[in-house]
Amino acid sequence: MADVLWTADEIAKAADGQVLGDFSATGVSIDSRSLEPGDLFVALTGARDGHEFVVQTIDQGAAGALVSKPVAVPAVLVDDTFQALERLGVAARERASQARRGAVTGSVGKTSVTRAVEAGLRRAGKAHASVKSYNNHIGVPLTLARMPRDTQRAVFEVGMNHANEIVPLSRFIRPHAVAITTVGPVHLENFADGEEGVARAKAEIFAGIEPGGVAVLNADNPWFPLLKAEADKAGAQVWSFGTGEGVTARLAAFAASEGGAEITAVVRGETLRFPILQTGVHWGLNSLCVLLMLEALDVDRETALAALAEFAPIEGRGAERRVRVAGGAFTLVDESYNANPVSMNAALATLGAREVAGRRIVALTDMLELGPESARFHAELARPIEQAGIDLVFCAGSLMKSLWDALPPTRRGGYAETAAELAPQVASAMRAGDVIMVKGSNGSKAGAVASALAALDLEGQG
């Protein structure tokens, strides 16, 4: 049986509420679709009023509800359920005062780095972390509210698409260590000052850092001086990673192989060689970011390296599978969860660096939220595609049309207005020995292409 996370009295005290029927909860949920038996259901008001689902969640096994309207089920009544969730998060942080807390943000790689840090924390002891990409104004307090009182270490993913979003989230978490994986042209349409605005927004992660806390920063990123200056202002210790001299952790070599890579690095003057299960070239620097974050959260080096050695790619973020077709199999690299110019360049370079028996193929859908320069960012992908030696390019979406127009006819595999329309074109082109990478923003449905390719597997056709 799961441990009690919150009693009704504890919730009422933390959230300044009134108990309407006693209960004890083992978890916290805001979504009736993913609710687990024993959860506290928080009835938030958004596109739908969560109060409509209170009775249903009790029938599903919820222990009780957090509500702002009287209900005929075990509940705690408050003035505002969102503010109550925030208070519950703060109370969880304060009662687990022994926990070392980390926070990860960045234009690219924050989810994967957060998951890898979590893997190290779980090896080291009682750990807690964000689930999925719960990284916004609801996800962060929800993750805090779910934190058990005996947590030793925790890591939180923190996201944004506008200025002034991260400041309150950092102050909720009050991290002992933060990481900014990198800064790039992402969400540009929301920043009048362009990429500098993105960098300043990411630097908001320092707002809540504990005195003497650690800021883990990418020294290879052009915005490193700005980020370091902001970290210094916040009184943080700066630990850097990169490929140049003078960093805390320097990447000396990245050697990819089938299903993984070997990293050679110099960390605080000590040369390390260690394996990872990732093939993406960006994981050279990501792995150093993870190592420094784990060190800052009091995880020993041996445990950190063991966690990295076993951390597999996340679905939609570089996960690979062999798809059996007539005459053999092709390799599907699923990067369909998200895309921007930084991650797209890294993914193309990774594909170009690997040995293939057949052809290198990419299926790309629109990169979103890039502002007025969107067409240029898409067209400029033609150069890294050429450098990577990509044989065929398939494109979907009005923005990817700019790339399509910039490609030589010999590289054009097919174009469609939507991912769903492109999928059969890509599927019909695949041959044994090929390696295909599917990448695009989540909103442009790149996953539809990846799913169509996975469905070609002869083993799955009975």
For residue 371, the model assigns a pLDDT of 86
Sign of the alpha-carbon dihedral angle for 178, 182, 186, 189: positive
Q: Please, are residues 327 and 432 in contact by the beta-carbon 8 Å criterion?
A: yes
What tens digit of pLDDT does each residue of 321-377 get? 999 998 999 999 999 988 889 889 989 998 998 889 999 999 999 999 888 889 999
What tens digit of pLDDT does each residue of 198-222 get? 999 999 999 999 999 999 999 999 9
What tens digit of pLDDT does each residue of 412-432 get? 999 999 999 999 999 999 999
Among 462, 440, 458, CA closest to 450: 440
Residue % of the chain over a pLDDT of 90: 82
Question: Does the pTM exceed 0.85?
Answer: no
Among 205, 9, 178, 10, CA closest to 94: 10
Beta strand 6-7 with 64-67 is: unpaired
Among 442, 225, 438, CA closest to 335: 438
For residue 1, the model assigns a pLDDT of 63
Position 460 pLDDT exceeds 60: no
Measured CA to CA in angstroms, residue 310 lies from 137, 259, 277, 429 at distances of 31, 12, 7, 34
CB atoms within 10 A of CB 343: 24
Among 101, 90, 117, 210, CA closest to 154: 101
Position 182 pLDDT exceeds 60: yes
Beta strand 75-77 with 18-20 is: antiparallel
Q: Please, are residues 366 and 341 in contact by the beta-carbon 8 Å criterion?
A: no
For residue 108, the model assigns a pLDDT of 84
132: exposed, middle or buried (Cβ count in 10 Å: 0-12, 13-18, 19+):
exposed
Position 444 pLDDT exceeds 50: yes
The domains of the chain, with CATH numbers, are: 6-81 (3.40.1390.10), 96-310 (3.40.1190.10), 319-461 (3.90.190.20)
- 332 phi/psi in degrees, rounded to 5: -100, 120
What tens digit of pLDDT does each residue of 110-157 get? 999 999 999 999 999 999 998 877 889 999 999 999 999 999 999 999
What tens digit of pLDDT does each residue of 384-419 get? 999 999 999 999 999 999 999 999 999 999 999 999
| Cα angle 90, 92, 98; round to 5 | 110
In this prediction, residue 462 has a pLDDT band, given cuts at 50, 70 and 90, of: very low
Position 186 pLDDT exceeds 70: no
For residues 47 and 18, give the distance between their C-alpha atoms in angstroms, rounded to a whole number: 26
For residues 423 and 439, give the distance between their C-alpha atoms in angstroms, rounded to a whole number: 13
For residues 400 and 365, give the distance between their C-alpha atoms in angstroms, rounded to a whole number: 6
What tens digit of pLDDT does each residue of 15-38 get? 999 999 999 999 999 999 999 999
For residue 146, the model assigns a pLDDT of 97
What tens digit of pLDDT does each residue of 280-316 get? 888 999 999 999 999 999 999 999 999 999 999 887 7
